[in-house]
Structure formats: C-alpha cells, structure tokens
Amino acid sequence: MPAHPRFIVDSMLGHVARWLRLLGYDTLYFRDIEDWKLLRIAKEEGRILITRDVSLYRRARKENLEAILVEDPEIDTILAELSRRFGVELEFHKDDTRCPECNTRLIYTTSITDVAHKIGKNIALRYKEFWICPKCGKVYWQGKHWKTINQILESARIKKAKLVSKTMIKERRIYVGEGTTNNNALSTEKNSL
C-alpha cells in the first residue's frame, strides 16, 4: 500500500479523489469543508493539497504546504502531472486499493461466499474477483467500465512521458544556455531523473 504521498482534495475535485483511492493512495475528500480546515488537515497530517481554487493554492504555498493547482479538467492529464511531480503510480494493484467512497483499504477476495449476500446472482456468476470495503460494506468488481479505466491510465502514462520529455528538453536548453557543454547537460539530466 502506498504510504506516501497522501493527499487532500478540495470539493471541486471529487473525481480525482476517487481515482487516487482506486490507485491505493490515502486521499481525503469532503464535499463541504471550509478552506482553513483543508489547510489545517494538510499541515497536521502532511498531506498534499490538490485544488482548482487559485486563492486556496496561494494560501497553501504561503504556509509552505505542498500543493498542486489543477488547471486542466481531464483526469488523465491530472494523473500524469501527479505522477510526474509526486510519484503516483499509474497502475492498479489488486491488493493495494481503497474504497472510492470512504477511503478505507479494500479487502480482496475470490470467495463468492464472502460477497454472495451483497451482490446479484448475475454478478456472482460473471466475475471471480471482488473487493469489499470493511467500513461502508460496498463490494466492487472489474465490470464493463474497467476497459475505460485502463484506457485512462494508459493515456495518463503517455501524457506523463511527454511531460517528462518536455522537462528534460527545457533543462537541456537551460544548461546549454548557461554555457555548459552538452556532456555536462546530459549528465545533469540523467541525475535529475
């Protein structure tokens, strides 16, 4: 289970919280919370604030909190940037996931007995792997939507690669522009990854 990084997400980004939880990251999300409370929780618990609110982002940075301002609404772009900046893994691990609703670690099972009383017969016959939330009681499985989830994660990985490549090119230009030789610029790039 990824112990770090841990996140707190503002009320405009509930979908980001669900994705991070799916990927196993401890992510707090509140539909209705005051900004000062978000900042306090981020500070006390060492969480990275994810927000669309420019003023909240500025306040977080002023208080020396780690924060990211989300400007692009596309989830694959957001995940790519979180992966580039904070090392978020863009892979689903069946033994390493959280409830998208309540953030509790899910229990993986292949036992129909564990879930039979909570799912329909058709689901029980069609699927072999399930995840149970011990807190809210919800049961999850890799249904028809799973193809879309994998496509979004693949798109995020591609976008991350492009972001990393752009960063390396910018760094190369900066190093070369400062009068270093190409060999020094390349070795600096290699060390920065």
Distance CA 53, CA 79 (A): 18
C-beta of residue 139 within 8 angstroms of C-beta of residue 132: yes
Band (169; pLDDT cuts 50, 70, 90)? low
What average pLDDT does the segment 155-167 reach?
Answer: 90
Helix runs in 26-144, H state only: 35-45, 54-62, 75-86, 112-115, 121-126
Predicted pLDDT of residue 70: 97
Beta bridge partners of 118: none
Report the Cα 1 to chain-centroid distance in Å: 13
Predicted pLDDT of residue 172: 55
**Which one has a higher pLDDT value, 145 or 177?**
145
- Rounded to 5 degrees, what angle do the CA atoms 45, 103, 19 make? 100
Q: What is the pLDDT of residues 45-70, one digit of tens each?
A: 999 999 999 999 999 999 999 999 99
Band (181; pLDDT cuts 50, 70, 90)? very low
Cα separation values, 35 from 61, 125, 148, Å: 13, 46, 33
Distance CA 14, CA 10 (A): 7
- At residue 16, does pLDDT exceed 80? yes
- At residue 144, does pLDDT exceed 60? yes
φ, ψ for residue 150, nearest 5 deg: -65, -40
φ, ψ for residue 9, nearest 5 deg: -120, 140
Q: What is the pLDDT of residues 87-130, one digit of tens each?
A: 999 999 999 999 999 999 999 999 999 999 999 999 999 999 99
- Rounded to 5 degrees, what angle do the CA atoms 90, 173, 67 make? 40
Band (164; pLDDT cuts 50, 70, 90)? confident
Predicted pLDDT of residue 4: 81
Q: Which residue from 3, 28, 6 is spatially nearest to 18, judged by alpha carbons?
A: 28
Distance CA 114, CA 92 (A): 22
Domain ranges of the chain: 7-94+145-192, 107-140
Residue with tokens 């919800």: 138
Amino acid at 6: R
- Rounded to 5 degrees, what angle do the CA atoms 32, 71, 151 make? 95
Band (1; pLDDT cuts 50, 70, 90)? very low
